[in-house]
């Protein structure tokens, strides 16, 4: 499935995405905030890509975020936690931040998820010091629950 917005294309992962994926998972933000996506080497990164490429867009969404010129901006992943809840994680390369891209991508993925899934909620787990992600959640009118060092945000 390919999801298109005004400025973005969200497409499935491909095996050739391993190089840029491995580069971004070494990013400090990625390592500290999305530990489950870290990989010790390119071989492990390739095994992640193989899993992502097999996403079924029913129980999980693994999307590469690109612009219309096919430049890779980042990724967005939604994984089913329960029958009624999906957990969403995302990362945007630093040079593309502060342009509204992630909010646009998250809104598009949220709509695509809800088109085919009778979900009660889409969950974002955001650390309190991650101000950009908290701002995205606020702009999307998320319900925010304080959980100590993080917020559980429900869209």
Residue 57 — pLDDT band, cuts 50, 70, 90? low
Has residue 89 got a pLDDT over 90? no
Q: Tell me how far apart the alpha carbons of residues 14 and 153 are, in angstroms, rounded to a whole number.
A: 30
Give the pLDDT score at 30.
63
68 pLDDT higher than 90: yes
pLDDT of residue 55: 74
Who wins on pLDDT, 123 or 42? 123
Q: What is the pLDDT of residue 32?
A: 61
The helix/strand/coil state of 136 is helix
Q: Residue 75: which pLDDT band, with cuts at 50, 70 and 90?
A: very high
Convert the pLDDT of each residue in 100-151 to its tens digit. 999 999 999 888 888 777 766 888 999 898 888 999 999 999 999 999 888 9
pLDDT of residue 35: 61
Instruction: Look at the domain 3-120 and name its fold.
Output: Aminopeptidase (3.40.630)
Domain regions of the chain by residue span: 3-120
Which pLDDT score is estimated for 67?
96
Strand order, beta sheet including 8-12: 3-4, 8-12, 60-67, 72-82, 85-92, 121-127, 150-154, 143-146
- Mean pLDDT of all residues belonging to the chain: 86
Alpha helices per DSSP H over 57-148: 101-116, 131-139
- Supply the pLDDT for residue 142: 93
How confident is the model at residue 29, as a pLDDT? 66
pTM: 0.85
Hey, what are 4's tokens? 């298109």
């Amino acid at each position: 499935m390919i999801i298109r917005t005004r400025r973005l294309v969200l497409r499935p992962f491909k095996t050739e995405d391993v190089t840029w994926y491995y580069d971004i998972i070494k990013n400090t933000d990625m390592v500290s905030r999305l530990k489950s996506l870290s990989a010790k080497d390119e071989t492990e990164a390739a095994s992640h890509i193989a899993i992502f490429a097999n996403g079924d867009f029913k129980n999980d969404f693994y999307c590469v975020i690109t612009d219309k010129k096919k430049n890779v901006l980042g990724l967005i992943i939604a994984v089913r936690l329960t029958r009624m809840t999906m957990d969403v994680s995302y990362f945007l390369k630093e040079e593309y931040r502060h342009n509204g891209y992630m909010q646009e991508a998250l809104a598009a993925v949220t709509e695509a998820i809800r088109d085919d899934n009778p979900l009660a909620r889409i969950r974002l787990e955001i650390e309190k010091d991650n101000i950009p992600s908290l701002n995205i959640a606020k702009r999307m009118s998320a319900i925010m629950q304080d959980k100590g060092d993080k917020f559980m945000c429900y869209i």
